Structure 1
């Protein structure tokens, strides 16, 4: 028997807002978190802009112990801990100390790469023969599972504590992995999410591929243009998003607030066949992923009224819209409302799916479908498929009932999760 799974906590550390209130305000008003990065200009990057969370130094002190702060130089770890702890507290779950682990609570918190700046610092120390100066936290800051290990220790979770990694699909995948663990009775609560480091050592490879926009260095907020005819590449970003998933029975017993319900979803790969590659999705796999998510969630294709797409502001946006249309068998004015979070935060890589899932769920809470910025000049191939009115330019007062969120990552891997407005 599959148990109902609900969302009882949210946390976010995004380029356009740290914390739910700031993030929701930015989304509702189309406020961008993409900024000029002087360091990228100094290093002769073509694209000198990025979406990076602005974390005040004094904020970090309230999330880490003095020992953990010693030599801390892993931005993704900082973002992930902030988002994860905030989500836990938002769910009104306590953090107990000097007690047995919470055997019913676990963590699946993903990342693409962790502690790049710490790696660089460590390499220089080792090459200079100063290995003793690495410090006691260098290993946990640079191992991929460092983020789940940090959160597991802070929260005292005794169920599964692990890190997943599937490029841009990581965050959405983590939600489905946590969902399955609760639905099958292996846990009562799972903190799920993902994070991504900031900086030139993460973003440099993409700049070298020339897939980032280079003409907006003096106008950063206009650079990320999902679904636009003038889109010229994705803007790199970073941050973290986190959700507390919980069995319906546990949430009701605690009297917890419930943001939405997770109905199900699907994960697959295109096998880098049929037009798919290490960097591009196989359209057949994308459509199968959406269709399988709908089947797994036991809903009809016509039930979906809102979509939060992957939509990176590249030439693949039109293909993604075509895939959604084919999978749902809907087009024109019958197509659901669709929005793209990347217009305001850029492409946050491994953190993209989790931040965008937080954004998706906030729409249930606030009774709106937020608008798409920089997409006023919609790509003609998109307009051939769906009506322009289904791509709101400004935030709409609309209560989503069932929302589909998908992510498509490097390696030709896909994930689609289905959220539903909470109803007892």
Structure 2
């Protein structure tokens, strides 16, 4: 028998806002976190802009001990710990101070590339025969599961503590893995989320692929243009999002604030066959993922009030909207509101899904649909499918009850999760 699963904590470390309050205000106002990066200019990148959280050094002591900070050079871990510990605190939970693990609490926190700068540092020190200066934290900062290991230890969790990795689908996938663990009765509380490193060693490969915008270096705020006719590629970003998922019984017993309920979802792959490839989605798989997410959640398509799409500001945006329309059997004015947060934060890669899930749930909390920044010229192929009024340019007052969030990633992988405003 499947148990009901709710969300009781949120945390975020995003390019346009570090902390839940600043991130919420930024989404309301359409504030961008995409900025010119002099380090990319110095390295002769074509795209010299990116979305990167602005972390003040003096706040790190709120999240790390002096010993943990010594030699710490992994931006993704820093972002993940900030978002994760904030979400834990937001849920009214505390780090474990006893000698017994929290057996019913776990961590599913994903990453893509992790500790790239630390790994680069390690390569130089090894090549220079200076291996003893690497320090004792080089391994944990560069292993894929470093972020979940940090968080699991900081919080004292004794249930499953692991890291998932599925390209841009990672964050949304982590939430569904945590959901399934709680729904099946194997855990009571799970911290889920994802993070992504920042910097040229992460973003360089995408610049080499020529899929980033090269003509907005002097106007960063206008560069990321999801669903726009003048979109020229995605802007790379970084950061972390975190959510505390909990069984309804546990949340009620604690008297915890409940942001939303996770109704269900679906994870699948297009197998890189047909029109699918390493970098292109198989539309049949995308539509199947959405359809099964709706079915698994026990709702009908017409009950979805809003969609937060993957929508990266590339030529595939119109195809994604087509897939949503086909999967839901809705078009024109019957189609839900749809938005993308990438206009202000860029594409945060493995952190995208978790940051955007936090933003999606904030719409339930705030009673709004956040606007689509830089989408004043909606792509004509999209307007053929849905009414332009369903793509709000600015934040609008509206109280959605059910929101669908999907992420699609390299490797032809897909994930879709359905959130509902909590009611007894």
What interval of TM-score do these two structures reach, taking the shorter chain for normalisation? over 0.9
Quote the Cα distance in structure 2 between the aligned partners of 1:292 and 1:213: 34
State how 1:102-117 maps to structure 2 within 5 Å.
102-117=102-117
Quote the Cα distance in structure 2 between the aligned partners of 1:330 and 1:273: 27
Q: What residue number does 2:298 align with?
A: 298
Quote the Cα distance in structure 2 between the aligned partners of 1:35 and 1:276: 33
Q: What residue number does 2:241 align with?
A: 241
Q: What residue number does 2:181 align with?
A: 181
* CA drift at 1:99: 2.4
Q: Secondary structure of the equivalent of 1:352?
A: helix
Quote the Cα distance in structure 1 between the aligned partners of 2:83 and 2:382: 34
Q: Secondary structure of the equivalent of 1:351?
A: helix
Say if 2:214 is the partner of 1:214.
yes
Q: Secondary structure of the equivalent of 1:94?
A: coil
* CA drift at 1:69: 0.7
Structure 1 unaligned regions, length at least 5: none
TM-score by length of 2: 1.00
Q: What residue number does 1:371 align with?
A: 371
TM-score by length of 1: 1.00
State how 1:396-407 maps to structure 2 within 5 Å.
396-407=396-407
Q: Secondary structure of the equivalent of 1:61?
A: helix
Q: Secondary structure of the equivalent of 1:265?
A: strand
Quote the Cα distance in structure 1 between the aligned partners of 2:323 and 2:274: 14
* Cα deviation digits, residues 27-82 of structure 1 (max 9, x gap): 01100000000000000000000000000001112111111111100000000000
Quote the Cα distance in structure 1 between the aligned partners of 2:303 and 2:295: 12
Say if 2:313 is the partner of 1:318.
no
Say if 2:268 is the partner of 1:285.
no
Bigger shift: residues 64-73 or 336-345: 64-73
Say if 2:141 is the partner of 1:141.
yes
Q: What residue number does 1:51 align with?
A: 51
* CA drift at 1:170: 0.1
* CA drift at 1:94: 1.3
Quote the Cα distance in structure 2 between the aligned partners of 1:119 and 1:61: 23
* CA drift at 1:278: 0.4
Q: Secondary structure of the equivalent of 2:369?
A: coil
* CA drift at 1:274: 1.4
Quote the Cα distance in structure 2 between the aligned partners of 1:156 and 1:76: 20
Say if 2:387 is the partner of 1:387.
yes
Q: What residue number does 2:166 align with?
A: 166
Quote the Cα distance in structure 1 between the aligned partners of 2:324 and 2:192: 26
Quote the Cα distance in structure 1 between the aligned partners of 2:108 and 2:101: 16
Say if 2:255 is the partner of 1:255.
yes
Quote the Cα distance in structure 2 between the aligned partners of 1:18 and 1:342: 16
Please give the root-mean-square deviation of Cα atoms over the aligned residues, in Å.
0.5
* CA drift at 1:89: 0.1
Quote the Cα distance in structure 1 between the aligned partners of 2:173 and 2:28: 26
Q: What residue number does 1:340 align with?
A: 340
* Cα deviation digits, residues 347-378 of structure 1 (max 9, x gap): 00000000000000001111100000100000
Q: Secondary structure of the equivalent of 2:320?
A: helix
* CA drift at 1:168: 0.1
* CA drift at 1:230: 0.2
* CA drift at 1:96: 2.3
- Equivalent pairs counted in the alignment come to 424
Quote the Cα distance in structure 2 between the aligned partners of 1:96 and 1:283: 45
* Cα deviation digits, residues 93-146 of structure 1 (max 9, x gap): 011224200000000000001100000000000000000000010000000000
Q: What residue number does 2:76 align with?
A: 76
Structure 2 unaligned regions, length at least 5: none
Deviation >4 Å, runs of 4+ = none
Quote the Cα distance in structure 2 between the aligned partners of 1:145 and 1:96: 20
